[in-house]
Amino acid sequence: MTRFDEPLKRVVGAKTAAPLENALGIATVGELLRHYPRRYAERGELTSIASLEHDEIATVRGRVSAVQRRPMKNRQGTWLDVEVTDGKDRIHLAFFGKGAFVAEQRLPPGTEATFSGKVNVFVSPKGAKRRSLTHPDYVTDDEETSEEFATAPVPIYPSAQNLASWKIGRAVRLILDTLSLDDPLPAPMRERHGLIGLAEALTLIHRPRDQGDIARAKKRLKFDEAFNLQAVLVRRRMAADALPARPRPGSADGLLAGFDGRLPFQLTEGQRAVGDEIAADLGRDHPMHRLLQGEVGAGKTVVALRAMLQVADSGGQAALLAPTEVLAQQHHRSITAMLGDLAGGGMFGGTSVALLTGSMGAAARRQNLLDAASGAAGIVVGTHALLQDKVQFADLGLVVVDEQHRFGVEQRDALREKSASGRPHVLVMTATPIPRTVAMTVFGDLEVSTLSQLPSGRAPITTHVVPAAEKPHYLERTWERVREEVGLGRQAYIVCPRIGDLEGDEGDLTKDADERRPPLAVLDVAEMLASGPLAGLRVEVLHGKLPPEEKDAIMRAFTRGEIDVLVATTVIEVGVDVPNSSVMIIMDADRFGVSQLHQLRGRVGRGGLPGLCLLVSETMPGTPARERLDAVASTLDGFELSRVDLEQRREGDVLGAAQSGRKSSLRMLQLLRDEDVIADAREEAQNLLAGDPELAGHPALKAELDALAAGERAEYLEKT
């Protein structure tokens, strides 16, 4: 009998297994059975030929409408032209040599068959399209269909060049006939949720008799994916909770109390509630693992700083890890400013705030390294430079990771390992609001705190799409608005997708821009504006490839109001806080993702001044890119936009597979549509592991979870 972990070549033979492994990375029985059909065609249902694109590897079901021998153009002999129709459009199949003779016998007019190959589309001078396949693989319905499945749906698999869908199906059927496996889900759990057995589900997903079979199989397989992922995350949280950490309860009359007493504003109810959650976590003897998410401008930095001061009051140190030097410098400036005389030598003794970046001068770097190692610096802010071996801490009690999605687990671990007194507490922050299903799935091993209430004094932001191609005068009006705002003593950002050459891209550029002009560049746009529509204004550029000291000097000058218009890349996306800026112009806005646009918009309206965000784009109404921009313009609700973002992206992107370079483990589960399944699976995983943490009573489930948590998938999970 065949097992899940058995090498595929041992079951189907090396000749069949080799193309599966080479083209699709499928090496075991389990990997093949988890390679589910992409869709199903009904018998008699033909593929829409008009939808086929040039160079696409396509699987086409059609009916042979004509067969004709044609002479070769440049040599003696003939080739076979087989015309296939879907009842409306036609595609031509070209066969040569022996293949032409065989096709002539197997494909007489009227034959219904499935063809697989690379599509070639020729467009005539008059615009007519002729689609063709050269020497495609094919199988006729009579050859492929057993009597039992004569009316059954036809599985169409994700395939590749020289590996037709039906060849994958034949390999699957060889395995199903000999498959033996223990169902990892306990029978009572299956009964509670009305789930069929795993062996039956795998059979029905690959060899369904009708649509009901497909639905029953998907229900079980979706639950499996949700449950397995949730169980791995629950186990990770239980393991983390078992680790020792030094409690950091703070004190009633220390730095935190002094800081709270000097705040020039009232904390929001949300900030107080989340602060209480974090304070309680810090007082426990196992490490905090908490995610702090919130709307743009909701005050996450203040919440994180209060946690850092509580740790400092307990005799420990806090490290704040930022993804860019601009953001690290901004954090250092804002924390120092908020602390005032508490930032070293105040009435409560204060605590030094040190900055460590890769480009610091040698003398400043030596001093800050010494302050971190001696404990003189209670708060250390830095970039990846904090991760270097030479950076040591006297007593690291809290690690705060800003914009955590930009760091891998290896980087976080490198910082956590610098604590000599047990594991430090960890607070990760994201300014990108996360749908509940993503929070449960991606961050299932973290406690999640949410800030949705904006502090008082935040002005509303008005957002409009500027259709530059349809209405060029709207773009002219855009520059007039910038001049008007500067005339009122305010400042503006103008963001472009790239710096000045294609090597300098910093935006979230879309991949569907092959036929469009290159994205607009900071250097080009700044020169055009300074000599044209914005002549006479103080225009400066900022991008990630400037020397760090120059970037810092530019940001300081902009903060002081010495620059009217800052033309920048997304280096200003997060954390930059200039209260006097009131206008955000995003050029080629369709080249950015929804969340990125929302983040950029959040740089204005921060100082009580009404904010204006203009999304400049040449996209046409009704296109997906334009609909994305319209969605951003229609709401300031980051949580609503996060759902829009998720709907337009692949699940693997959301779960970190794009970041880690590996395939997502989710094949059936859809995070937005299957929220109930995820919630049910999470509850079942928590209950099962609470009663049997080692899964001693569920060996098959333990083996499956161990496999999921090992190797490549462990890294995928860690990327969360």
The stretch 119-148 carries a mean pLDDT of 81
Tell me the pairing of strands 565-568 and 539-542.
Answer: parallel
User: Six-digit token pair at 342?
Assistant: 């508490």
Distance CA 231, CA 238 (A): 10
Supply the pLDDT for residue 671.
77
Residue-wise pLDDT for 508-561, tens only, equals 444 444 456 889 999 999 999 999 999 999 999 999 888 888 988 999 999 999
3, 267, 276, 434, 614 from 449: Cα distances, Å: 43, 16, 11, 11, 31
pLDDT per residue as tens digits for the range 369-414: 999 999 999 999 998 888 887 889 999 999 998 875 555 555 556 6
Q: What is the DSSP string of 154-220?
A: EEE---BTTB-HHHHHHHHHHHHTTB----SS-HHHHHHHT---HHHHHHHHHS-SSHHHHHHHHHH
CA distance 33 to 647: 27
Highest mean pLDDT out of 2-11, 386-395, 422-431, 684-693: 684-693
Enter the tokens of residue 102: 């065989």
Partners of 139 in the beta sheet? 114
pLDDT surpasses 60 at 444: yes
State the pLDDT at residue 265. 85
Question: Taking every pair of C-alpha atoms in the chain, what is the biggest distance, in angstroms?
Answer: 99
Could you tell me the pTM of the whole model?
Answer: 0.71
Helix/strand/coil for 424: coil
d(CA 626, CA 436): 26
Query: Average pLDDT, stretch 432-455?
Result: 76
Residue 208 has φ and ψ, to the nearest 5°, of -75, 150
pLDDT digit string, tens, across residues 288-337: 989 898 877 788 889 999 999 999 999 999 999 988 888 888 899 889 98
Q: Which of 187, 135, 139, 189 is nearest to 162 (CA)?
A: 135
pLDDT-derived band at 608 (thresholds 50, 70, 90) equals confident
CA distance 328 to 378: 16
Ranked by mean pLDDT, which of 24-28, 177-181, 420-424 comes out on top?
A: 24-28
Cα three-residue angle 692-698-701, rounded to 5 degrees: 110
Is 314:305 a contact under the CB 8 Å cutoff?
no
Q: Is 464 helix (H, G, I), strand (E, B) or coil?
A: strand
Query: 238-243: long-range contacts at Cβ-Cβ below 8 A with a sequence spacing of 24 or more?
Result: 238/689, 238/693, 240/286, 240/287, 240/289, 240/445, 241/286, 242/286, 243/286, 243/287, 243/422, 243/423
Integer Cα distance of 566 and 580 in angstroms: 13
pLDDT of residue 510: 46
Q: Which range among 32-36, 149-153, 183-187 shows the weakest confidence by mean pLDDT?
A: 149-153
Mean pLDDT of the 11-33 span:
90
In this prediction, residue 142 carries a pLDDT of: 74
pLDDT at 233: 87
Q: What is the pLDDT of residue 186?
A: 95
The residues, any chain, with a CB within 8 Å of residue 527's CB and separated by 6 or more, are none
Q: What is the mean pLDDT of residues 107-112?
A: 94
Give the residue with greater pLDDT, 147 vs 216. Answer: 216
Nearest to 586 by CA among 642, 640, 633: 633
34 has a pLDDT exceeding 80: yes
Q: What is the pLDDT of residue 649?
A: 61
Strand partners, 461: 611
Q: Which of 40, 80, 52, 41 is nearest to 64 (CA)?
A: 80
Query: What is the pLDDT confidence band of residue 593, given thresholds at 50, 70 and 90?
Result: confident
338/304 Cα distance (integer angstroms): 12
The tokens 């040190």 sit on which residue?
354
Yes or no: say if 165 and 114 are a contact pair by the CB < 8 Å rule.
Answer: yes
Which of 73-82, 91-100, 446-455, 643-652 tops mean pLDDT? 91-100
> Residue 591 and residue 497: Cα distance in Å, rounded?
7
Cα angle 207, 208, 210; round to 5: 160
Residues 6+ apart with CB under 8 A from 372: 317, 354, 356, 380, 391, 392, 393, 394
CA 682 to chain centre: 21
More confident residue, 191 or 163: 191
Tell whether the model's pLDDT for residue 348 goes beyond 50.
no
Between 14 and 660, the more confident residue is: 14
Query: Computed over its alpha carbons, how large is the radius of gyration of the chain?
Result: 30
* Per-residue model confidence (pLDDT) at position 202: 96
Percentage of the chain lying above the pLDDT 90 cut: 47
Average pLDDT in the chain: 85
CA distance 365 to 388: 13
DSSP state of 341: G
Q: Are 32 and 171 in contact (CB under 8 A)?
A: yes
**Residue 479 contacts by C-beta under 8 Å, 6 or more apart in sequence?**
529, 533, 534
The amino acid at residue 418 is: K
Contact 285, 247 (CB under 8 A): yes
Which residues are CB-neighbours of 317 under 8 A, at least 6 positions away? 311, 372, 375, 377, 378, 379, 380, 393, 394, 395, 396, 397, 398
**Which residue from 601, 196, 593 is spatially nearest to 405, judged by alpha carbons?**
593
State yes or no: pLDDT of 347 exceeds 80: no
Q: What is the pLDDT of residues 66-108, one digit of tens each?
A: 999 999 887 788 999 999 999 899 999 999 988 899 999 999 9
Residue 489 binned pLDDT confidence (cut-offs 50, 70, 90): very high
Find the range with the poorest average confidence among 184-193, 425-434, 476-485.
425-434
Q: Which residues contact 399 (CB under 8 A, 6 or more apart)?
A: 318, 319, 321, 412, 415, 416, 424, 425, 426, 427
Instruction: For residue 597, give both structure tokens.
Output: 């646009």
Q: Residue 1 — pLDDT band, cuts 50, 70, 90?
A: low
Torsion-angle region of residue 344: left (phi > 0), alpha (psi -120 to 50) or beta? left
Q: Which class for 200: exposed (0-12), middle (13-18), buried (19 or more C-beta within 10 A)? A: middle
If one counts every other C-beta atom within 10 angstroms of the C-beta of residue 253, the result is: 9
pLDDT (0 to 100) of residue 148: 54
Query: How high is the pLDDT of residue 150?
Result: 55
- Inter-axis angle of helices 624-634 and 638-647, to 10 degrees? 170
Token pair 């951003």 is found at: 632
